[in-house]
Amino acid sequence: MGPRSGAPVILALSSLLCVAITGIFFAKSPAASDRIPSPLKAVNDVWVTLAAAATTGGFALWVAAVVAAAHAQRPLPGWLAQLPIIVIDDRAPRYGHAPFGTVIGGAALLSTLGLAGLYFSMRGRRPGMRTQTILGTAFVATAGLALFSPALTSFDLYAYAGASHAGITAGYHPIGVPFTGEWAAINTIYGTPIVPSPYGPVWLLVSYLLTAWAPTLWSALTLLRALELAALLACIGALRALRVPAHAIAVFALNPALHANFVTDGHNDLLAVAFVLAAAALRERSLPLAIFVAACAAGIKLPFLAIAPLAFALEPSVMRRFAAAGATVAVGLVLSFSLGAAGYTSALVQTASIYRATLADPTVDALRFALLALALGAVAAALCARRFGPTMSWAFVAFGTSLFGWYLAWGIPYAVTERRWLSTYLISLPLLSFLLTTAFAPTIAANIAFRLATLLAPIAVLFALRHERDVRLRYGRAAGS
């Protein structure tokens, strides 16, 4: 996928920038965030069942619509139809599947309502064994649909398979000889030689060890999907270890945007997020181990050098915070460039040249760098003073090479640390992923939704933050009296 520019991207970046700036004025320490009264009432399992059914049902509708849309592409080249997992090709104007965009939008809306239902039906309540069984069943159903979906909305999974099939070091400088057998489909997509991998050596090593003995291209793709499912499970385990409330874990575990972007489409970002969350969970037990685990996130994608230090943002001493953050950056650089060597550097330069066309739109570029500055400022404020803005999580999408829905996962470590607006951030992901997708032709409904979201999101955030502040002030005065 190439760089994105134009009016929709300007609208999206402007909205995200306004949302992030709004939160600056409501920043505070997370020490007292997300308090839940005790003793807790029991969860109403009827409402949880309905909410989980809506969330999983919305995702099932998404999968069905993507499969139908993939086969509705016109013209449909023979090589595309013969792929083991068919892909919606957004590199060419094959928009015979345009009507499916409305169905996808409806699926995202249904899932969003389901996630909101989970939040409101579980927040401040105690989940029992029956509730956990309901949620577990919904998770298995959602994960199964994601893992075995016969269609993709991105070719990235094939790029991962090609790099790992070429070998650990050959991924950075692939040879000019095409693959044989069914693996030759990767050359049809990316040419011969295939493009060098822009991902870190930790990713190349893990993906190679996982798929080296895959007998077929389909099995390699499925193993890479399973790796991201394992990353999703690791994130859930880390959230439990970090004592994240059950309602937020449920919204995370059943989130269709996470299943769609990272299990179905197989983007490797969630594995890096899992390393950061695991490091945050490990820091009280073994700080050196936590530093190494956090550094592995940068060994998957280099921008995580700026995100991984958030694993140590809650350390009580500012010296420990900066020492751990500095050590993480140092180890991440060593992992990336001692193992990747010159090949990794060359691949990064080549990838940067592909995305340099983004500079042709100075408005997009300026908005993106403003959002990136806010994200970096949020990391600095967290490490310097343990101060967190509730809306800063949405700024982290700017760390990506362009504005794609799966980059929204980069804000999860910050949202988990900030905690107050974690559930709100997670609930927003299905609709935001839909609005940022490039896989479907624009429809009237999508354009209207995009403009409404761009206009109303900052206003809604401002009112929500002011209401939250007023409630906190009233609570403080009542407690003082």
For residue range 84-99, list pLDDT tens digits in order. Answer: 999 988 766 555 555 7
pLDDT (tens digit, 9 = 90+) per residue, 436-475? 887 776 666 666 766 777 777 778 888 877 777 776 666 5
pLDDT tens for 287-303 read 999 999 999 999 999 99
Write down the domain spans for the chain: 7-474
Residue 266 has pLDDT above 70, yes or no: yes
Residues 6+ apart with CB under 8 A from 407: 269, 396, 397, 399, 400
More confident residue, 340 or 74: 74
Integer-rounded Cα Rg, in Å, for the chain is 22
First to last CA, the chain: 59
Check whether 5 has a pLDDT greater than 60: no
Q: How high is the pLDDT of residue 250?
A: 96
Most confident segment among 69-73, 260-264, 431-435: 260-264
pLDDT for the residue numbered 17: 81
Residue 244, pLDDT > 60, answer yes
Q: Where does the pLDDT of residue 478 fall: very low under 50, low under 70, confident under 90, or very high at 90 and above?
A: low
For the chain, give the percent of residues with pLDDT over 70.
87
Mean pLDDT of 394-421: 91
Q: Which residue has the higher pLDDT, 138 or 473?
A: 138
Mean per-residue pLDDT for 324-344? Answer: 86
Angstrom CA distances, 374 to 18, 388, 402, 416, 444, stand at 11, 12, 17, 18, 32
pLDDT (0 to 100) of residue 34: 45
pLDDT computed for residue 46 by the predictor: 92
Question: Residue 445: its pLDDT value, please?
Answer: 64
Arithmetic mean of pLDDT over the chain: 85
| Residues whose CB falls within 8 Å of the CB of residue 169, separated by 6 or more in sequence, listed in order | 343
CA distances from 330 to 5, 316, 326, 408, 453 (A): 34, 22, 6, 25, 40
DSSP labels, 102-128: HHHHHHHHHHHHHHHHHHHHHTTEE--
pTM of the complete model beyond 0.85: yes
> Which is more confidently placed, 283 or 344?
283
Please tell me whether residue 339 adopts helix, strand or coil conformation: helix
Write down the pLDDT at residue 36. Answer: 45
Confidence of residue 33 (pLDDT cuts 50, 70, 90): very low
Over the stretch 166-198, which tens digit does the pLDDT of each residue have? 877 777 878 778 888 889 999 999 888 888 888
The packing angle between helices 269-282 and 287-298, to 10°, is 170
The pLDDT of residue 280 is above 90: yes
